[in-house]
């Protein structure tokens, strides 16, 4: 680990506009610092800021950036109205990690690509311009959607996948004021080598995530993984589906484990809405979702796996 | 009494003792120390002025170190030195080597191989300097192989060739000819490899984490070029080994070299990634199984040919066909293991080398043959138990396979299994059941132990035998307590220190039976003295709760001792019993799985194991060994796989996040049945080894259950969703 300075922010203003990296649960950043994948020279601890509340905001809810994942998952309001979020959080990490990890930090967690965390390999994300060893290497759990020749890493989280389905917004405070970014636009696709993970600028801090009014219908989070806990998703799906009079009237779907961001494709939802639930409709939705999917050898299986998982989720979501 | 075990000791001495502690499910005496954090592990000794060392791994896959830019880090805070001593290890020692492994870290055999040690005042300083240390290499990766499928194979060593397998396959009414693949495994012990070296004059004391101290001392001494008598290893508590700590590894020699140079103690702890990248792996395997049987299910042909890999010059080859040799009949046989040389870290013993991966393929093939021949899989196995070990013509010492299959089947409810696959569906999940035999060779290893009976009746047992979490402290104490009629709380056991008599060490499941036999022999000698003092024949002596009785005489133990301390050293050496008989432990696995019809995820729902391994010395620790083995079996079946980059041989999933050992949720409540057995051929305790049996075949039962559930025959282990998906039946 490189030497760094540590300070603790007593107020939000103190934490803004500094080049110091904000740190809360420290479950990901410090791991990466130990490996020297991340080498910030200054950390600012924001855990004492008043950002730990879950409160109603109109018909929706505002989840403070410092709300621990465990608390968010257990919150009665969340469980009652946005159960897919609770399920998604509980599908990730371990109880110990969920106790420490925060809502804002979770959004900023970095990929678990094995080449990203190994300094002896080439990784554009870690060292822009160095190349991507995953392209032709061990890419069993890499992305099939939205990839580029620069990077095929996935965004590893579960919580954000549910947030994408719920059409959440990220509240970001900067030295010049507050801005809101739809969760679906918060994370970025890799594009060129230098692309950062998300739209957060240096000196900015996530203060909250807001959810609009609870959506109608059944909420499901489904995570396919190789061991039944403490493993990243091969594919995960957050689904909010309502069936009325035999037709799908509302559909929100987001996918994890497939791309460098929680994947959301409005065309997939459009293919479902107004249709009667059934195999053909589900297959068509999968066709749309996967029309540009590309495997890199080790992860080719994700294409049929996603197709089948989507069918399973939609069957469950539309069952009487 | 001769130490060499040439004739079976059929007196079954322990059955005639009265203390009543042998076999009982007693707690580990050191348990409270461990769960309260008071049992010191290798890195946890607090030595004055101890410096911290961090190893640096090679960035090339093959080649030579041409320059180490020490000057660039020597001024970094706290840095005390950069070492690349010729004594430092390129590879760890293989199990039981007893001599120095490959040294000279200027040569690079595989990516991640330690090439230098940076020592500083603090761990963080050493880590920072190790990361900053620039090393130049001459890279000869172009001439190395990294893909076992692309490299050539060497001719097999000692293959079995009996009869004409090709003809048997051609002529038999039923046969299967299958290719299985298993991925590499890591030991993934919880405690990483670690050493603290301290020199006092020319005497080295090394706190380390080892399985076989009596072999590790000469390995370390030879590596350092010092007299073994001047090397002391202290390793009383070991946080798991699973083969990876059989031999010394990079940490021990590097710490000793630096400590000698700096004149102060040096601690070296491998990072989790370094453990994965540079210690020991189980080789991946490619196995061809050929089985042929007649109309009644009698095997007429049996072929098991495996390809494994290792580094150049390593003798170890995963002994994949080890149990196939004796488990089933079949006159026409071909068994062979071939090695291919790849630049990946050293392949060596990882828990149950051979059977762990060989049995799962054999048992999956047996299941397929049973189906092909239309015979119940249990009946097929029972029909093919040979009278004598095939090829060798020697008798079996004892074999509980039939009993294990029967008892296991009854406990599990095997009669509820549908013979045909795809018969049970619960929602998204296909449900199925599978069975497999368990088998593992049994070995006795040379061992010594010292037993002292103090004038007040206290008993001390001493050996350098290790306890790697298996229960050595408990069972050695129980043997002494039983033999000397001592309450268990009057017995203390000291282990894991090379100043004590050399035990067998913990490897190959032989620790308990071997070192336990040495304890038994020492106790016999003490009993002989006591019986003479009481004036009765040795076989008449009864010792219980500190009282001695025999004939019509009796006395207290303390009275008999009359202020004397009795001390005896017991010894055991493998002898003709190991050659005149085929010795193995046996069992059976029964497993119920759910396979998701959509995603091909497999979850174990129930698992029963029935095991026979001679006398049970402690029902709790033995059961725990079986449970642990079955958990390994589940990992081997479903999740564990080393992922190597085929371009440079580097291990991509080099930590516990990437290398998936089973978690609690992967492991349902496991049912373990311990079969009552005495095997006097195996040891004077009539006990065999239990440590590894629980893994040997377990994944085969899972594979067979997967087929029974969803109709897909798995040929790749671990059976992750991607390996099954394209053959899954329509889920709708």
Does residue A1 surpass a pLDDT of 90?
no
Tokens representing B474 are 């408990």
Average pLDDT over residues A100-128: 95
CA distances from A306 to A280, B3, B427 (A): 16, 64, 19
Give the closest residue to B398 by CA, choosing from B687, B12, B3, B6: B687
Cβ atoms of A172 and A178 within 8 Å: the answer is: yes
Look at the block and give the residue holding tokens 């000692």: B158
What are the pLDDT digits (tens) for A121-156? 999 999 999 999 999 999 999 999 999 999 999 999
Give the closest residue to B691 by CA, choosing from B504, B554, B560: B504
Average pLDDT over residues B119-128: 96
B732 in A contact zone (CB under 8 Å): yes
Count CB neighbours of B387 within 10 A.
9
Angstrom distance (rounded) from CA B564 to CA B326: 50
8 Å CB contact of B644 and A138: yes
Cβ atoms of B622 and B690 within 8 Å: the answer is: yes
Look at the block and give the residue holding tokens 């026979």: B612
Q: Which residues of B touch A28 (CB under 8 A)?
A: none
Closest chain A C-alpha to B394 CA, distance in angstroms: 44
Closest residue to B665, CB basis, from A138, A229, A308: A229
Q: What are the residues facing B182 on neighbouring strands?
A: B285, B717
The span from the first CA to the last CA of chain A, in angstroms, equals 55
Give the closest residue to B292 by CA, choosing from B306, B303, B281, B279: B303
CA distances from A105 to A24, A56, A95, A100, A292 (A): 7, 21, 16, 10, 31
Angstrom distance (rounded) from CA B442 to CA B584: 5
SS3 of B576-630: the string is CHHHHCECEEEEEEEEEEEEECCCCCEEEEEEEEEEECECCCEHHHHHHHHHHHH
Q: Which residues of B touch A126 (CB under 8 A)?
A: none
B730 in A contact zone (CB under 8 Å): no
8 Å CB contact of A136 and B647: yes
CA distances from B184 to A115, B250, B350, B649, B659 (A): 19, 21, 10, 12, 11
Does residue A203 surpass a pLDDT of 80?
yes
Closest residue to B720, CB basis, from A34, A115, A226: A226
Does residue B211 surpass a pLDDT of 80?
yes
Kindly give, in sequence order, each residue whose CB lies less than 8 Å from that of residue B75, ignoring residues fewer than 6 positions away: none
Closest residue to A308, CB basis, from B112, B598, B720: B598
B639 in A contact zone (CB under 8 Å): yes
Closest residue to A234, CB basis, from B59, B111, B721: B721
Tokens representing B603 are 């979850």
List residues of chain A with CB under 8 Å from any CB of chain B.
Answer: 1-3, 34, 36, 112, 114-115, 118-121, 133, 136-138, 140, 224-231, 234, 279, 301, 304-305, 308-309, 311-312
Q: Which residues of A touch B127 (CB under 8 A)?
A: 1, 34
Tokens representing B347 are 């392949």
8 Å CB contact of B731 and A228: no
Q: Tell me which DSSP letter residue A91 carries.
A: T
8 Å CB contact of B645 and A137: yes
Cβ atoms of B465 and B480 within 8 Å: the answer is: no
- The H helix count followed by the E strand count for chain A is 12, 11
Closest chain A C-alpha to B663 CA, distance in angstroms: 7
Active-site residue (options: B30, B52, B183, B692):
B692
Closest chain B C-alpha to A300 CA, distance in angstroms: 9
**Helix, strand or coil, per DSSP, at residue B710:** helix
Kindly give, in sequence order, each residue whose CB lies less than 8 Å from that of residue B550, ignoring residues fewer than 6 positions away: B531, B534, B536, B537, B540, B541, B542
Q: Which residues of B touch A304 (CB under 8 A)?
A: 725-726
The H or E element containing residue B532 is: helix B511-534
Give the closest residue to B197 by CA, choosing from B250, B153, B239: B250
Strands B203-208, B194-200: parallel, antiparallel or unpaired by DSSP? antiparallel
Burial B81-113 (b: 16+ CB within 10 A, else e): bbbbbebbbbbbbbbbbbebbbbebbebbbbbb
| Confidence (pLDDT) at B151 | 86
Angstrom distance (rounded) from CA B467 to CA B493: 11
Q: Which residues of B touch A234 (CB under 8 A)?
A: 721-722
Look at the block and give the residue holding tokens 């207290």: B556
Q: Indicate the domain borders of chain A.
A: 5-42, 218-318
The class (CATH top level) of A218-318 is alpha beta
Give the closest residue to A252 by CA, choosing from A106, A111, A82: A82
Average pLDDT, chain B: 97
Percent of chain A scoring above 70 in pLDDT:
99
Give ∠ CA B48-B236-B4 in degrees, rounded to 5. Answer: 140
Closest residue, chain B, to A135 (C-alpha): B645
Q: Which residues of B touch A237 (CB under 8 A)?
A: none
CA atoms within 13 A on the CB side of B346: 31
Closest chain B C-alpha to A234 CA, distance in angstroms: 9
B35 in A contact zone (CB under 8 Å): no
Closest chain B C-alpha to A183 CA, distance in angstroms: 27
What is the CATH architecture of B42-143+190-273? 2-Layer Sandwich (3.30)
Cβ atoms of B191 and B240 within 8 Å: the answer is: yes
B716 in A contact zone (CB under 8 Å): no
| Confidence (pLDDT) at B1 | 62
Angstrom distance (rounded) from CA B530 to CA B484: 10
* pLDDT band per the 50, 70, 90 thresholds, residue A177: very high
Closest chain A C-alpha to B666 CA, distance in angstroms: 6
Closest chain A C-alpha to B414 CA, distance in angstroms: 26
Q: Which residues of A touch B62 (CB under 8 A)?
A: none
Closest residue to B666, CB basis, from A118, A138, A228: A228
Average pLDDT over residues A165-170: 98
Closest residue, chain B, to A117 (C-alpha): B652
Cβ atoms of B13 and B22 within 8 Å: the answer is: no
CA distances from A261 to A142, A210, A257, A289, B307 (A): 12, 18, 8, 15, 41
Pick from A27, A35, A120, A152 the residue to mutate for testing the B interface (most B CBs within 10 Å): A120
The span from the first CA to the last CA of chain B, in angstroms, equals 71
Count CB neighbours of B132 within 10 A.
16
In sign, the C-alpha dihedral spanning B630, B636, B637, B640 is positive
**Helix, strand or coil, per DSSP, at residue B666:** helix
Angstrom distance (rounded) from CA B695 to CA B399: 18
* pLDDT band per the 50, 70, 90 thresholds, residue B519: very high
Cβ atoms of A230 and A190 within 8 Å: the answer is: no
Closest chain B C-alpha to A228 CA, distance in angstroms: 6
CATH of the structural domain B354-443+580-727, one choice from 3.40.50.720, 3.20.20.70, 3.30.360.10, 3.30.365.10: 3.30.365.10
Q: Which residues of A touch B147 (CB under 8 A)?
A: none
Closest residue, chain A, to B664 (C-alpha): A229
Closest residue, chain B, to A282 (C-alpha): B732
Q: Which fold has domain B4-39+445-574?
A: Aldehyde Oxidoreductase; domain 4 (3.30.365)
| Confidence (pLDDT) at A192 | 76
What are the pLDDT digits (tens) for B636-672? 999 999 999 999 999 999 999 999 999 999 999 999 9
Q: Which residues of A touch B720 (CB under 8 A)?
A: 226
Strands B459-462, B491-494: parallel, antiparallel or unpaired by DSSP? parallel
Query: What ipTM was reported for this prediction?
Result: 0.97
Give the closest residue to A235 by CA, choosing from A252, A219, A256, A253: A256
| Confidence (pLDDT) at A320 | 87
B720 in A contact zone (CB under 8 Å): yes
Angstrom distance (rounded) from CA B34 to CA B36: 5
Q: Indicate if B692 belongs to the active site.
A: yes
Closest residue to B666, CB basis, from A115, A118, A227: A227
Average pLDDT over residues A58-81: 98
Does residue A193 surpass a pLDDT of 70?
no
Closest residue, chain B, to A319 (C-alpha): B427
Closest chain A C-alpha to B598 CA, distance in angstroms: 5
Does residue A195 surpass a pLDDT of 80?
no
Count CB neighbours of A246 within 10 A.
10
Pick from B658, B662, B724, B726 the residue to mutate for testing the A interface (most A CBs within 10 Å): B658
The distance from CA B561 to its chain's CA centroid, rounded to whole angstroms, is 41
Closest residue to B131, CB basis, from A36, A227, A229: A36
Radius of gyration of chain B (CA): 27
CATH 3.30.365.10 domain range(s) in chain B: 4-39+445-574, 42-143+190-273, 354-443+580-727
Angstrom distance (rounded) from CA A81 to CA A87: 12
Cβ atoms of B536 and B551 within 8 Å: the answer is: yes
Tokens representing B542 are 């009864």
* Number of CB pairs, chain A paired with chain B, less than 8 A apart: 95
8 Å CB contact of B665 and A140: no
Tokens representing B693 are 């049996």
Q: Which residues of A touch B650 (CB under 8 A)?
A: 118, 120-121
In B411-475, at which residue ranges do the beta strands (DSSP E only) sit? Answer: 425-426, 429-441, 447-453, 459-462
């Amino acid at each position: 680990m490189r030497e760094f300075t540590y300070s603790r922010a007593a107020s939000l203003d103190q934490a803004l506009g500094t080049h110091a990296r904000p740190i809360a649960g420290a479950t990901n950043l410090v791991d990466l610092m130990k490996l020297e994948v991340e080498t910030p020279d200054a950390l600012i601890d924001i855990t004492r800021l008043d950002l730990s509340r879950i409160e109603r905001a109109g018909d929706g809810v505002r989840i403070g950036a410092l709300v621990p994942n465990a608390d968010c998952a257990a919150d009665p309001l969340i469980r009652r109205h946005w159960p897919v979020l609770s399920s998604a959080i509980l599908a990730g990490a371990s109880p110990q990690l969920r106790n420490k990890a925060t809502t804002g930090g979770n959004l900023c967690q970095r990929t678990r690509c094995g080449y990203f965390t190994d300094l002896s390999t080439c990784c554009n994300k870690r060292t822009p311009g160095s190349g991507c060893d995953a392209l032709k290497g061990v890419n069993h759990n890499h992305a099939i959607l939205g990839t580029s020749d620069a990077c095929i890493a996935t965004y590893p989280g579960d919580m954000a996948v549910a947030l994408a389905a719920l059409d959440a917004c990220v509240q970001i405070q900067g030295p010049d004021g507050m801005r809101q970014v739809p969760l679906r636009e918060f994370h970025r696709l890799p594009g060129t080598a230098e692309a950062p993970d998300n739209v957060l600028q240096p000196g900015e801090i996530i203060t909250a995530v807001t959810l609009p009014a609870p959506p109608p219908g059944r909420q499901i989070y489904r995570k396919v993984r190789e061991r039944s806990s403490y493993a990243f998703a091969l594919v995960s799906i957050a689904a909010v589906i309502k069936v009325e009079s035999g037709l799908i009237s509302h559909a929100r779907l987001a996918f994890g484990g497939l791309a460098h961001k929680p994947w959301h494709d409005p065309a997939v939802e459009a293919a479902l809405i107004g249709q009667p639930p059934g195999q053909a409709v589900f297959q068509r939705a999968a066709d749309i979702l996967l029309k540009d999917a590309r495997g890199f050898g080790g992860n080719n299986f994700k294409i049929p796996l996603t197709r089948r998982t989507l069918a399973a989720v939609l069957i469950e979501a539309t069952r009487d | 009494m001769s130490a060499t075990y040439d004739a079976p000791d059929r007196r079954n001495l322990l059955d005639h003792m009265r203390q009543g502690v042998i076999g009982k499910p007693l707690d580990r005496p050191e348990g409270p120390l461990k769960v309260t954090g008071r049992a010191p592990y290798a890195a946890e000794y607090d030595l004055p002025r101890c410096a911290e060392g961090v190893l640096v791994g090679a960035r090339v896959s093959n080649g030579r170190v041409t320059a180490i830019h020490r000057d660039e880090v020597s001024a970094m805070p706290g840095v005390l030195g950069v070492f690349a001593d010729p004594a430092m290890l390129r590879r760890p020692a293989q199990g039981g080597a007893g001599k120095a492994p490959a040294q000279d870290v200027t040569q690079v055999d595989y990516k991640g191989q330690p090439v230098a040690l940076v020592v500083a005042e603090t761990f963080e300083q050493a880590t920072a300097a190790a990361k900053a240390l620039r090393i130049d290499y001459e890279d000869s990766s172009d001439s190395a192989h990294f893909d076992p499928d692309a490299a050539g194979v060497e001719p097999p060593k000692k293959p079995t060739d009996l009869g004409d397998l090709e003809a048997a396959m051609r002529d038999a009414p039923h046969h299967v000819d299958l290719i299985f693949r298993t991925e590499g495994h890591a030991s993934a012990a919880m405690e990483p490899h670690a050493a603290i070296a301290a020199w006092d004059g020319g005497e080295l004391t090394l706190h380390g984490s080892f399985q076989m101290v009596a072999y590790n001392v000469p390995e370390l001494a030879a590596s350092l070029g010092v007299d073994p008598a001047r090397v002391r290893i202290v390793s009383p508590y070991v946080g798991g080994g699973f083969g990876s700590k059989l031999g010394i590894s990079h940490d021990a020699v590097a710490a000793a070299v630096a400590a000698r140079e700096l004149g102060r103690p040096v601690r070296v702890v491998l990072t989790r990634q370094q453990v994965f990248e540079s210690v020991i792996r189980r080789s991946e395997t490619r196995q061809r199984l050929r089985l042929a049987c007649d109309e009644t299910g009698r095997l007429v042909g049996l072929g098991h040919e495996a390809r494994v890999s290792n580094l150049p010059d390593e003798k170890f080859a995963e002994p994949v066909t080890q149990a196939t040799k004796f488990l089933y009949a079949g006159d026409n046989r071909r068994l062979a293991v071939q090695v291919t040389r790849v630049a990946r870290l050293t392949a060596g013993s990882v828990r149950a080398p051979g059977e762990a991966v060989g049995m799962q393929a054999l048992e999956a093939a047996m299941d397929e043959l049973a189906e092909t021949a239309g015979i119940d899989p249990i009946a097929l196995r029972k029909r093919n138990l040979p009278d004598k070990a095939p090829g060798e013509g020697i008798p079996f010492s004892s074999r509980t396979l039939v009993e294990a299959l029967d008892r296991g089947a009854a406990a599990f409810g095997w009669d509820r299994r549908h013979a045909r696959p795809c018969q049970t569906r619960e929602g998204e999940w296909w449900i199925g059941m599978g069975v497999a035999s368990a088998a593992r060779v049994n070995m006795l290893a040379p061992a010594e132990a010292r037993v002292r009976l103090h004038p007040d009746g206290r008993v001390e047992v001493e050996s350098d035998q290790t306890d790697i979490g298996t229960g050595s402290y408990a069972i050695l104490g129980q043997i002494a307590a039983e033999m000397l009629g001592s309450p268990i709380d009057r017995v203390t056991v000291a282990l894991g220190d090379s100043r004590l008599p050399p035990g067998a060490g913990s490897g190959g499941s032989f620790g308990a039976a071997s070192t336990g036999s040495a304890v038994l022999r020492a106790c016999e000698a003490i009993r002989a003295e006591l019986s003479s003092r009481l004036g009765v024949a040795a076989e008449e002596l009864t010792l219980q709760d500190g009282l001695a009785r025999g004939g019509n005489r009796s006395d207290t133990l303390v009275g008999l001792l009359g202020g004397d301390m009795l001390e005896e050293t017991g010894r055991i050496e493998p002898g003709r019993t190991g050659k005149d008989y085929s010795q193995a432990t046996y069992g059976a696995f029964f497993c119920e799985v759910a396979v998701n019809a959509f995603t091909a995820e497999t979850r174990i729902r129930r698992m029963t194991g029935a095991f026979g391994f001679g006398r049970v010395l402690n029902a709790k620790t033995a059961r725990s060994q079986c449970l642990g083995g079955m958990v390994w079996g589940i990992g081997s079946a479903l999740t564990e796989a080393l992922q190597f980059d085929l371009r440079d041989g580097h291990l991509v999933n080099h930590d516990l996040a990437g290398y998936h050992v089973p978690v609690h949720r992967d492991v349902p409540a496991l049912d373990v049945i311990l079969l009552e057995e005495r095997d006097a051929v195996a040891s004077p305790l009539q006990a065999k080894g239990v440590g590894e049996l629980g893994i040997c075949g377990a994944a085969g039962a899972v594979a067979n259950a997967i087929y029974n559930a969803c109709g897909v025959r798995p040929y790749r282990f671990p059976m992750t969703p991607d390996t099954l998906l394209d053959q899954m039946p329509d889920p709708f």
